[in-house]
Amino acid sequence: MRLFWIVAWSLSAAVAWGQPEDSPPSNVNARYRVESVELQPGGFNNLSASLRNRLQGLVGAHFDQASFDELGRRIRDELRNARVQMRVVRGSEPDQVSVVFEVLLSNRTEFDMSLPRVLYHSKQNFTFGLETTVRRGRHTFSGMALTDNDQLIERYSGVGAGYEVAPARRVRFKMQVASWRSQWSGVTEQAANGDLYRARQHFDPTATISISRPLTLQLGVSVERLEMLQPAAAHQLSSAANLTLRYQRRWELGPDATQGLEASYGIRSASAALGSDFVYTRHHWEARYQHRRGHSEWNGSVEAGLLVGRAPLFERFTLGNSRRLRGWNRFDLDPLGSDRYTHASLDYRFRWLRLIYDTGAGWRRNAPLVLRHSASAGVTASGVTALVAFPLRNGSIEPLFLLGTNF
Amino acid sequence: MNSAALTVALFVTTLPAGDGLTVHLRNNDISVSAARLEVIRDPVLTRLKSGSSVAFDFHLALWSGTRSNLRRRAFERFVVSYDLWEEKYAVTGLRKPRISATRLSPEAVGPWCLQQIKLANIDLTRDERVWVRLDVRAVDPKQDADLFGADGVSLVNLIELLSRPAKRDNLRWTLESGALRVSELKP
């Protein structure tokens, strides 16, 4: 019976999905004009200027439930841990309505469980992560189990835990601990020169400060204790101070069009003064742009990284995974990862269709830069994407298959 | 179309049904009506009176011969809203061409939706036995929440989705006809 309803919902959603953009589900109150928009209690003071403007801009317009639903979600996002209910009531004059958002600060304990990483890669096999979150008021506790053979040059598997607290509206503190077991491919073992480790324990306290609404600064330290393979049972410590400046902004261009820009710069610096056996500095730049109109969505990104000094292998840059140069196998590019890289990607989506072009290069100091390209095509639905990715090169081309979420 | 089916198709037939579901056969089209189908009640009523619209999924299925032989099914989604000034209900079907009704009483919403759904062009022989079942479900707003958010797949939402029928029977209605023989139909 449940299967039946899932099928029925899917078909019903397909019926709704087939409607043109200008004919959303009807609400008879759409013929009334909005007399006022209120947020109770406290008013709009705790909301961003853009959201306040958006809410007040709907006064005088005809009631549009989809717009107000979307704004209700944005209010909930901005007022963390709050539940938001929308109520539409008669206005003071006939043919007018007032919209009231009621904010209920949650004192109850909320539990969530998610799969932040699910991926099958035909060359790299499975990546799978499970995360549980318990949230009460301003406090969030999380636990995680993960096996990842995509992001780094190693497969790392293990468990982690985190705690996050938001003592003020613009400040958040977060602390994470994790224990990872590392596995290496044969080509990496052959190429490595005594830098491989068996396991690592990770400790990462950070503070995130919202400087202004689109700009945040993250400060912290990252401590990694490595259990080296050679010599056996030896330990090394990698301690780094890190700083990330991030800009995130989203604009609404119309009833069915948005654009967003996200840019960040991060630096991580490890030195002997922090007790680190590794001394290095790692820079990372990234910018992403998204434009969405109707069923069309464009995503463009550029990123680059620079690693100077002797760093552990988990800090090295990887291309040829589910996010960069998707048609390539990362071990064919560099089994030890690179210490410099640049990458750009153009991702187009129309309804369920997804097309991606990637270009980038990873190289080492004093080595030549070889620019590579790949193209991917596939389908995406409800957050699940299936892609076939090809390296664009002369000679034999072996397509790769990727299936999963969040890539 | 065989001759027997053609003969049956000429009948305008009303079949008595169990559980208040009445099955009609007109020109090869099966439709149903119900003596009572009151879908406007809490918690849907509260949402409607708060100015929000509520979607209802209607599923009509026909079995013939044996109960395992599903012959035809139809889905429709209707959106119901409550006019805050006129204090009446409005319904819109989502399939094209759009059909809608306004100024309905709460009791009239379910029957109006039923009038819009049918199983068209079914060839039935006189000796066949048929069963008809109607499932109606109010779409919970949480149901539309993304299972696949920016943070990945929410297992809690998935579990909640799959367990919802047992927890929220007040948002679901099922009406069934008994076993009905086509040859017994009378105009």
Burial of B96 (0-12, 13-18, 19+ CB in 10 A): exposed
In angstroms, rounded to a whole number, what is the distance separating the alpha carbons of residues A142 and A165? Answer: 12
How many other CB atoms sit within 10 Å of the CB of residue B163?
11
What token pair was written down for B116?
Answer: 């819009």
The reply to whether residue B98 touches residue A23, judged by beta carbons under 8 angstroms, is yes
Nearest to A114 among B50, B75, B155 (CB): B155
Instruction: Give how many domains chain B has, as a whole number.
Output: 1
The reply to whether residue B51 touches residue A63, judged by beta carbons under 8 angstroms, is yes
In this structure, the answer to whether residues A80 and A126 fall within a common structural domain is no
In this structure, the answer to whether residues A96 and A209 fall within a common structural domain is no
Q: How confident is the model at residue B159 (pLDDT cuts 50, 70, 90)?
A: low
What token pair was written down for A5?
Answer: 């309803």
- Checking ipTM against 0.85, whether it exceeds it is no
B156 touches chain A (CB under 8 A): yes
In angstroms, rounded to a whole number, what is the distance separating the alpha carbons of residues B125 and B99? Answer: 32
- Do A168 and A195 touch, CB atoms closer than 8 A? no
In angstroms, rounded to a whole number, what is the distance separating the alpha carbons of residues B8 and B13? Answer: 9
B94 touches chain A (CB under 8 A): yes
Q: Is the pLDDT of residue B149 over 90?
A: no
The reply to whether residue B77 touches residue A383, judged by beta carbons under 8 angstroms, is no
Q: Are strands B172-176 and A125-136 parallel, antiparallel or unpaired?
A: unpaired
B96 touches chain A (CB under 8 A): yes
In angstroms, rounded to a whole number, what is the distance separating the alpha carbons of residues A217 and B171? Answer: 47
Percent of chain B beyond pLDDT 70?
Answer: 70
Least confident of A50-54, A348-352, A371-375: A50-54
**Residue A92 counted as domain residue:** yes
What token pair was written down for A224?
Answer: 């990694």
What token pair was written down for B40?
Answer: 């406007």
Q: Is the pLDDT of residue B18 over 80?
A: no
In this structure, the answer to whether residues A37 and A152 fall within a common structural domain is no
What token pair was written down for A30?
Answer: 């759409």
Three-state secondary structure call for residue A27: coil
Contacts of A88 in chain B (CB under 8 A): 50-52, 84
The reply to whether residue B156 touches residue A111, judged by beta carbons under 8 angstroms, is yes
**Residue A2 counted as domain residue:** no
In angstroms, rounded to a whole number, what is the distance separating the alpha carbons of residues A63 and A31? Answer: 7
The reply to whether residue B79 touches residue A406, judged by beta carbons under 8 angstroms, is no
**Residue A18 counted as domain residue:** no
The reply to whether residue B95 touches residue A383, judged by beta carbons under 8 angstroms, is no
Burial of A108 (0-12, 13-18, 19+ CB in 10 A): exposed
In angstroms, rounded to a whole number, what is the distance separating the alpha carbons of residues A48 and A42? Answer: 14
Nearest to A114 among B92, B137, B153 (CB): B153
Nearest to B57 among A8, A26, A112 (CB): A8
Least confident of A35-39, A103-107, A309-313: A103-107
Q: Write out the residue range of the structural domain in which residue B54 sits.
A: 3-184
A54: domain CATH number is 3.10.20.310
Q: What is the mean pLDDT of residues A267-279?
A: 94
Q: Is the pLDDT of residue A80 over 80?
A: no
In this structure, the answer to whether residues A119 and A76 fall within a common structural domain is no
Mutation target to probe the B interface, by most B beta carbons within 10 A, among A114, A250, A299 is A114
Q: What is the mean pLDDT of residues B8-22?
A: 47
In this structure, the answer to whether residues A323 and A249 fall within a common structural domain is yes
Domain boundary among A54, A86, A105: A105
State the residue for tokens 């204790």: A225
In this structure, the answer to whether residues A34 and A120 fall within a common structural domain is no
Domain boundary among A57, A86, A105: A105
Task: Pick B28 or A324 by higher pLDDT.
Answer: A324
Nearest to A401 by CA among A128, A126, A38: A126
Mutation target to probe the A interface, by most A beta carbons within 10 A, among B56, B60, B79, B94 is B94
Residue of B nearest to A9 (CA): B57
How many other CB atoms sit within 10 Å of the CB of residue A9?
19
Q: Is the pLDDT of residue A18 over 70?
A: no
The reply to whether residue B84 touches residue A382, judged by beta carbons under 8 angstroms, is no
Q: Looking at CA atoms only, how far is residue B81 from chain A in angstroms? A: 5
In angstroms, rounded to a whole number, what is the distance separating the alpha carbons of residues B128 and A194? Answer: 79
- Do B101 and B118 touch, CB atoms closer than 8 A? no
In angstroms, rounded to a whole number, what is the distance separating the alpha carbons of residues A212 and A240? Answer: 26
The reply to whether residue B94 touches residue A16, judged by beta carbons under 8 angstroms, is yes
In this structure, the answer to whether residues A144 and A98 fall within a common structural domain is no
**Residue A16 counted as domain residue:** no
- The residue ranges of DSSP E strands in A137-270, in sequence order, are 139-148, 155-168, 171-183, 197-212, 215-228, 235-254, 257-270
- Do B81 and B89 touch, CB atoms closer than 8 A? yes
- The residue ranges of DSSP E strands in chain B, in sequence order, are 12-15, 21-26, 29-34, 54-64, 70-82, 89-93, 100-104, 118-119, 129-138, 148-149, 152-154, 172-176, 180-181
Least confident of A16-30, A83-97, B9-23: B9-23
B159 membership: H or E segment, kind and range: helix B155-167
Contacts of A130 in chain B (CB under 8 A): 155
The reply to whether residue B154 touches residue A113, judged by beta carbons under 8 angstroms, is yes
Nearest to B55 among A25, A94, A130 (CB): A25
Residue of B nearest to A117 (CA): B152
Residue of B nearest to A101 (CA): B50
How many other CB atoms sit within 10 Å of the CB of residue B26?
14
In this structure, the answer to whether residues A243 and A220 fall within a common structural domain is yes
Amino acid symbol at B112: W
**Residue A390 counted as domain residue:** yes
Residue of B nearest to A88 (CA): B51
What token pair was written down for B68?
Answer: 């395992």
Instruction: Give how many domains chain A has, as a whole number.
Output: 2
Q: Which of A103-117, A182-196, B36-50 has the highest mean pLDDT?
A: A182-196
In this structure, the answer to whether residues A92 and A27 fall within a common structural domain is yes
Domain boundary among A85, A105, A125: A105
In angstroms, rounded to a whole number, what is the distance separating the alpha carbons of residues A306 and A362? Answer: 10
Q: Looking at CA atoms only, how far is residue A354 from chain B in angstroms? A: 17
Q: What are phi and psi of A227, to 5 degrees?
A: -100, 105
Q: Is the pLDDT of residue A383 over 90?
A: no
B28 touches chain A (CB under 8 A): no
Q: What is the mean pLDDT of residues A156-184?
A: 92
In this structure, the answer to whether residues A177 and A66 fall within a common structural domain is no
- The residue ranges of DSSP E strands in A9-57, in sequence order, are 33-40
Q: How confident is the model at residue B157 (pLDDT cuts 50, 70, 90)?
A: low
Q: Is the pLDDT of residue A394 over 70?
A: yes
Average pLDDT in chain A: 87
- Do A117 and B152 touch, CB atoms closer than 8 A? yes
Task: Pick A263 or B169 by higher pLDDT.
Answer: A263
A378: domain CATH number is 2.40.160.50
Q: Looking at CA atoms only, how far is residue B185 from chain A in angstroms? A: 30
In this structure, the answer to whether residues A366 and A283 fall within a common structural domain is yes
How many other CB atoms sit within 10 Å of the CB of residue A153?
25
Q: How confident is the model at residue B3 (pLDDT cuts 50, 70, 90)?
A: very low
Q: Write out the residue range of the structural domain in which residue A60 sits.
A: 23-105
In this structure, the answer to whether residues A92 and A120 fall within a common structural domain is no
